[in-house]
Amino acid sequence: MASAADNPMKRPAAQSAALSVVPAKQARTAGELIQHGGSANNKRLVSAGPSRTSSLHAPIMLLTGHEGEIYCGKFSPTGSILATAGYERKIFLWTVYDECENLAVLTGHGGAILELKFTTDGETLVSAASDKTAALWDLEAGLRIKRLKGHEKLINSVDVVRRGPQLLCTGSDDGTIRLWDRRVRGHTHSFDSGNAVTSVAFGDTGELVYSGGIDNSIQAWDLRRSACTMRLRGHSDTVTGLALSPDGNYLLSNGMDASLRVWDIRPYASQDRCLKILSGHRHSFEQNLLRCAWQPDGRRVTCGSSDRFVYVWDCASRQVVYKLPGHTGSVNETHFHPKEPIIMSVGSDKKVYLGEIEP
């Protein structure tokens, strides 16, 4: 555990200079963006056209400072903080509003960080890494408060239960899904999927855990029965991301077969649970674990793509409603803001984008 003397909330001046928010390049159109104020390393774009839709400092914010590929990023439940992490083993915490300042850099993992999740109260951040451990971080103190050890290979994914006991689940290349209670030492459950697990997600009540992996299928694990009670088949390649819908009735999955699927996971749904297949995005030879996410009202979904674009689909029409440029490398994760029409993306180009969209 890091000591108070190593508190990353106070960053050395040299490191601070390497972190910046710069304007994203934008062609001048009817909704022209113009540079307004700021120093050479801290500028914003202000719309000279249509009215704004969010409280972002500018319609598009570009956050720089990472020195390696960024694999994951998440908004906090309140939407005031953004966490990003990746190859360089560090977690960056940013303010979402004003100048998007870097609040802290959390260190402690011995390998690339592959997924991040906030607890529902927003006070704790959970990370999964290639050093075979997961970690819990106190955001107010900027310190690691618990390290979860037990997996035999790298941990690809982590999720936090929405309500009830303080449970976490992790999925690893060792083929197991493990359940952890923050209040006790060691894992409380372990399920063997038989293949490397690349993504996990809790069900709405926390009684089920869904896992996806290199066998191209999604399995549902019942914590009460300690057994797999459902298997969803349809993807023809590795499942790289899972996300539960806001109402808890549907599961979103992304696969290396370049398909995004919506599954009906209600108890008495029809046998054919795959309701929708969305396409347009790409996976490449890099085989990064491209994650997916729901908009808080459930109307839209998004996911990463190796073709450097951010994709957003309308669930009802299954049409791509946004194909956003800007990144110069694979977009590894995208995430919707919990309160406002803002979308976040992180990529292999070491960049973090925040952009406002239509409500």
Q: Residue 153 to residues 49, 108, 133: CA-CA distances in angstroms? A: 52, 18, 9
SS3 15: helix
CB environment 247-286: b (16+ within 10 A), e (fewer): eeebbbbbbbbbbbbbbbbeeeeeeebeebebebbbbeee
Q: What is the pLDDT along the chain (359 residues), one digit of tens a residue?
A: 444 444 444 444 344 434 544 444 443 344 444 444 444 444 455 545 678 999 999 999 999 999 999 999 999 999 999 999 999 999 999 999 999 999 999 999 999 999 999 999 999 999 999 999 999 999 999 999 999 999 999 999 999 999 877 899 999 999 999 999 998 889 999 999 999 999 999 999 999 999 999 999 999 999 999 999 999 999 999 999 999 999 999 999 999 999 999 999 998 877 889 999 999 999 988 889 999 999 999 999 999 999 999 999 999 999 999 999 999 999 999 999 999 999 999 999 999 999 999 99
pTM summary value: 0.86
Q: Is 300 helix (H, G, I), strand (E, B) or coil?
A: strand
Domains of the chain: 4-16+64-356 (2.130.10.10), 20-63 (no CATH)
